[in-house]
Structure 1
Amino acid sequence: MYAILDIEATGGKVGEESIIEIAIYKYDGENIVDQFISLVNPQSRIDPFVQKLTKITEKMVKTAPKFHEIAKRIVDITDGCTLVGHNVTFDYRMLIQEFNRLGYQYEKDWIDTFEYAETLIPGMPSYSLGKLCTSLGIIVTNRHRASGDALATVALFKMLLDKDNNKIITKKSGLKYPKKANSKYDKLLAGLPNKPGLFYLYNEEKEIIYIGKSINIAQTVGKIFTSKTLRNNNIKRYTKSIKVELTGSNLLASVKEINEINRIKPTFNPGVYKRSLYQHNIYFRENKHTLSKFEVGKNRKSTPFLSFQTKQEADKALENIITDYHLCQQVNQGIKSDESCFGYTVGTCNGICIGKESIQDYNKRIKEIAVKTKFPANNFLIVSRGRKGIEKSFICIENNEFIGYGYYEFHHQIKSMDLIKKIITKAEETKDIKSIIRNYLFKAKEKQIIKIK
């Protein structure tokens, strides 16, 4: 019997968080036989980032039961069960932490669907729950809420059980959480923030051996320290201290990570600074007299429309563009047919494939998409959230080249390039950074772009 769960927490320093929502589905291998879903009053503040991500506000949990009021129900529904979750060590740690506060020792076997997905479904562009489910066609409703993520994990777990021909899941569950955690790793992970930024891992000679970025630093570093891959075992073995740098935005973290790796060349970021990470591209092929189209490719002389680290990511992105912008599957796949494409039958193609839309109108629409990643001016900023309060982060492009990044609090600080250069941290442009910027421009809101004279 399995207890498939997901937990949302307040955020903050590791060891100080509290549960704000929990969902548990009791699963017998074929059907859900019981369930428990509840908001939880943490009796503490909820980090603004968590509120924005989960849409769970402090007002919503004010009248919710406190953890001690639902603790017995959690014990009952998980009795005799193995816990199952995606990156379940976080959920399990939160339960242990809450029960410890009540003076109760909670101990279970566990199975991490993240680990088994990597083994049983290799080659996925990402193993985060949302992206993995999208790649596998698993519908996720109410993302970043406990019930939605737990139900998605149920569907994923069913698929893993189906694929598990060698029965590696049923042969081996996770190990029981140690009663006394390794104090070395406990100290390293203590206090890491649940916020976007960079983390630097140091060896005993105070040398940086690995640089990473994450939208949730504590969670990502925790994954490295619980992973069983050879590389992560070596990283864990040599790491003696961790430093973090909050960035406020994932965009700035992504740009700064590339820049820092190229500058420092850490031991466990092998080859990253020697070659481009974003080698799989979507190109726009414009035709004046026939149909224009997007296509996936590598190493062409023309500037890519969008760039990705794997072909699977590029293929999936093109598939989404075709659907979202009502383009034709047949045109982009080079299929010639007298019949309409499937997209037309479900309303995601305007009918260019059967003459319902003119070539001129279709080409005009697709070109309007293609220019979304072109730089909107010679000099401009892309503005994102800052680290706290009214602060904003930005990356700066001057004369069509990335020149650096920075933070500001008052709008007058970014009204001219002269003022910007007083607060900017200079950085070198690379092919990968330009790819990150193009990818971000494609989805950026108009208010995030500030043109500078």
Structure 2
Amino acid sequence: MYAIIDIETTGGQFNKEGITEIAIYKFDGVEIIDQFISLVNPEIPIQPFVVKLTGINNAMLRQAPKFFEVAKRIIEITEGCIIVAHNASFDYRVLKLEFDRLGYNFQKSTLCTVEMSKILLPDAEAYSLGKLVRSLGIPIADRHRASGDAMATLKLFKLLLDKDLDKQIVKQQIKNEQHQGISPKLFDILQNIPSTVGIFYVHNDKGNIIYIGKSNNIRKKLNQIFTADSKIAKRIQKEVYTVTFEETGNELIALLKEREELLHNKPVLNITQRKSPFLWAVYQEKLDSGYETLKIQKSNGRKKALQSFKTQKNAVQFINDLYQENEIVEQVQNALSASEQINYPTDMHNTLFNDLLSKNELLWNKKIIILKGRTINEKSAVVIENGIFKGYCFFDLNYQVLNTDVLQKKLIQLVYTKDVLNTIKHYLYTKKDYKLLSF
């Protein structure tokens, strides 16, 4: 659980500042579950440059509650939370200073989105909140007001969670909960898991990931694991400390994330899932007669496949659909399959045949696959460039994905493997819940 905080102050001498406005969004990693926004009467004058920067003046704060009047609410909303802020050392110091004045020891773990951004967004030109979120296409309203800056920090934090492939943020959260003595039982774990499509991570008491799963209904899948009596399920039931999850909005990103996370984290209980699911492949071959053709064989990593599939049936359908795009090629290939006499010249057929394959290859030149997002107002994009998977992202506004510079910064990059492109091609070939854009 996280408390995303932004504080505006009076300015002035170090450790003499007072809070003029505070905004807190309680965030469970998926959505805001509580919020607190309030002006605060600091009982000391605001510095003129701060008035000019924030628009908050002394007159506005005369009727505002003093800090001691909102302190209890701040304690309640941050209970069990890690404090997250842009330049967290400042916000946490000022907040702790106010509690010290009341004689209350306010102690929390903190995460700084400036420091996280420097690690996870190393190519950013600047790390000030305004410049950083604008470069990422994140809208920001009420700049230099607590609510607007806290909301922008929250959206930035969500992006950083997506980009944190090593799960360092989540591991720190688990260590924080463990320090507080929180150890939920299986039933309690399930209560916090959504019935949506995504990835889930089973952690042991050290925060290490021991199992990763994917499902169109995460809660249902976990419930099956928690009640099953297989060897793996029993180990999970015994060793699980907590479960974290990532909603993906659609099955394609869940498939891509699962494959990447299995290879990256190598969880001890996922041995069988690390193997490639694409057992069959379509290969180009020249027959003794000189005609080019396509053959379905067991996947061979040493040979270049035109495309790979999970089943022979899908491979056969792919070949048939491809041949249907050219009547001559289709007739020749049908004749070859039936061992019939062919009267069409070999070289002319092969030219048409290779043109057909080249046309199919060009389909994967520069494509953006638009799919559902995690919320009703959000969409997701999977990007392929020059036949290589570049990454995925989530976006709210169309310009965020149509603007190449913004798109590149929002992309969550995964390690490129043959299985990644096979997964995308297989999904597009078997599903219809997407829209294709060229760029």
TM class, shorter-chain normalised?
A: 0.3 to 0.5
Q: TM-score, normalised by structure 2?
A: 0.47
For the pair shown, which has the larger CA radius of gyration, 1 or 2? 2
TM-score (normalizing by structure 1): 0.46
